[in-house]
Structure 1
Amino acid sequence: MTTAEFAHKLRTRQPLLGYWSVLDAPVATERLARLGYDYIAIDGQHGLVGYTGILNGIMAIDAGGQAAGAVRVEANDPATIGRALDAGAAAVIVPLIDTADDAATAVAATRYPPEGNRSYGPMRSGLRLGPRPAEANTATAVLAMIETSRGLANLHDICATPGLDGVYVGPSDLCLAVGGAFPGDPAVTETFEQAVTDIRQAAAQAGIAAGIHTPDGDTAARRLTQGYTFASIASDLVHLEKTAANHLNAARS
């Protein structure tokens, strides 16, 4: 899938399924990118990758030839966002968006002037997203994470931010934001699910994509059925550990 195709499908709210990568293991990432996922997201915030890992991960995804490469950047910072895009990311997922101003800052960092303030230095992204700035602007997607109490309070204003392509739910932080003592706290399940619904509905009203991180394929399918337009599944590290544990248990039994 080309970056332009991915951006078009995202913006037209077509269903998309992605996989989450936290390991700096390009060969593994390339294999994941060949499985049929629409995108592979590299976690630059909490993942075990530095900038070289992000660059190598995007190159591995491109080598896989089927999925688009996305990056969750570590902060809502123009330099950080710009470097992820220069590496060739088709989309950036920006964490901890609390206000419409925060969202506008993220959007501006992904767009070349006059639409934004991205510095022109396409590096390898120019191989796939241009090199004309207007072409890159069209093919680049930006997603705002909704995961804080302030983000929930300003949800509709964030979704209405011009140029924002979608919102993305971080379930762990969102659970804490609605009063959970820990991610997945059953004591706040009802409140959490209402927040998840509110985010989906606000995105739909604004005509933008709504995505969410999920622990497994069954949950991803359920979220898409509920109206989310894209979902990411688990992570490579989680699946590596679970699969290894399952094989060990089977062998010992």
Structure 2
Amino acid sequence: MTTVSVSHPDPGFAARLRRREPLVGYWISLDSPVAVERIAGLGYDYVGVDGQHGVVHQPGWQAAMLAVDARGRSAGVIRVPSPDPVAVGVALDAGARGVIVPMVEDAGQARAVARACRHHPVGTRSLGGPVRAELRMGSVPAEVDDRVACIVMIETASALSDLDAICATEGVDAVYVGPADLSAALGARWFGDPAAAGALEAALRTVTGTARRHGIACGIHVPDGDGAAKRLAEGFTFATVSSDITHLQQAAAAHLAAARGLA
């Protein structure tokens, strides 16, 4: 296979993440590149595309990354469906600047996905050749590896109990809390169940403290901008705000209430 020399931007998102800079992102659940392009021009540090629970399935990942890149302001990140290394490689070949990997249970899984983000000799990622990743991040494997962020989710009791080892895993750039699943793991009957609120907050302090001790970034999903500011002040280094589908429903409901004099 012939390699093409391609210009690329500075390391950007991955470098900022590793420096533990405060970053704010937005969440995309809908398969609409037009909407993604609008959001990507607002100034969020990154736009996270949900390939696990949203309706953006694998054929839509590349279109979403194209839409993000079209505005030149945000980094495109994809949450893959599972810790499957194949899914990680597909997302990165689509041009994602990072992957968020759900349901990582322990340091062994964390190591496997971290290696899936990197090429030989430190990883297992296959050379992609002339795909979108090469256009955005270059064709030298080690340099591409530097521009990619590996973010693993902490959302199960097993992950919480192995948190120290996960954070110490070579190649893991950040941990990311899924508060809904972590709440369920801590005994919540639904997300927001007050019976588990204290346990969740204690777990969040453990996550931020452990990540800080190991010098890696630490993120969380939040319902709104105020929630992002709160969590960043508490020690998280990045926060992802709500989702397009949630905001679409909220806006439509508010307008309906206003039109009927119910607001």
Provide the TM-score with structure 2 as the length reference.
0.95
Quick check: 1:138 aligned with 2:125? Answer: no
The one of 214, 217, 241 aligned to 2:222: 214
**Any conservation in 2 of the 1:3–1:140 contact (CA below 8 Å)?**
no
The aligned amino acid for 1:18 is: G
Structure 1 distance, partners of 2:192, 2:212, is 25
CA RMSD of superposed structures (Å): 1.1
The one of 96, 115, 129 aligned to 1:89: 96
SS state at 1:82 partner: helix
Query: Which stretch has the larger CA shift, 127-136 or 204-213?
Result: 127-136
Structure 1 distance, partners of 2:61, 2:180, is 23
The answer for the alignment partner of 1:45 in structure 2 is: 52
The answer for the alignment partner of 1:249 in structure 2 is: 257
Structure 1 distance, partners of 2:173, 2:181, is 21
Alpha-carbon shift at residue 3 of structure 1 (Å) = 6.8
Question: How high is the sequence identity, in percent, across the aligned residues?
Answer: 50
SS state at 2:26 partner: strand
The answer for the alignment partner of 1:223 in structure 2 is: 231
**Any conservation in 2 of the 1:36–1:66 contact (CA below 8 Å)?**
yes
Provide the TM-score with structure 1 as the length reference.
0.98
SS state at 1:128 partner: helix
Rate the CA distance shift 1:116–1:11 in 2: closer, same or farther, 3 A: same
Structure 1, unmatched stretches of 5+, are none
The aligned amino acid for 1:6 is: F
The answer for the alignment partner of 2:30 in structure 1 is: 23
The aligned amino acid for 1:217 is: G
Cα shift readout 1:36-73 (whole Å, capped 9, x = no counterpart): 00000000000101112111111100001100000000
Quick check: 1:119 aligned with 2:122? Answer: no
SS state at 1:63 partner: helix
Alpha-carbon shift at residue 78 of structure 1 (Å) = 1.2
The answer for the alignment partner of 2:68 in structure 1 is: 61
The aligned amino acid for 2:115 is: A
The answer for the alignment partner of 2:107 in structure 1 is: 100
Structure 1 distance, partners of 2:209, 2:57, is 35
SS state at 2:254 partner: helix
Alpha-carbon shift at residue 163 of structure 1 (Å) = 1.1
Structure 2 distance, partners of 1:217, 1:63, is 25
SS state at 1:75 partner: coil
Structure 2 distance, partners of 1:47, 1:200, is 27
Structure 1 distance, partners of 2:66, 2:134, is 13
Structure 2 distance, partners of 1:11, 1:51, is 27
Structure 2 distance, partners of 1:24, 1:96, is 23
The aligned amino acid for 1:67 is: S
Quick check: 1:163 aligned with 2:171? Answer: yes
**Any conservation in 2 of the 1:96–1:148 contact (CA below 8 Å)?**
yes
**Any conservation in 2 of the 1:96–1:145 contact (CA below 8 Å)?**
yes
Structure 2 distance, partners of 1:73, 1:4, is 22
The answer for the alignment partner of 1:197 in structure 2 is: 205
Structure 2 distance, partners of 1:96, 1:236, is 23
Structure 2, unmatched stretches of 5+, are 1-8
Quick check: 1:239 aligned with 2:247? Answer: yes
Structure 2 distance, partners of 1:239, 1:64, is 21
Q: Whose Rg is larger?
A: 2
Structure 1 distance, partners of 2:58, 2:104, is 22
Structure 1 distance, partners of 2:105, 2:82, is 12
The aligned amino acid for 1:154 is: D
Aligned length: 253
Alpha-carbon shift at residue 172 of structure 1 (Å) = 0.5
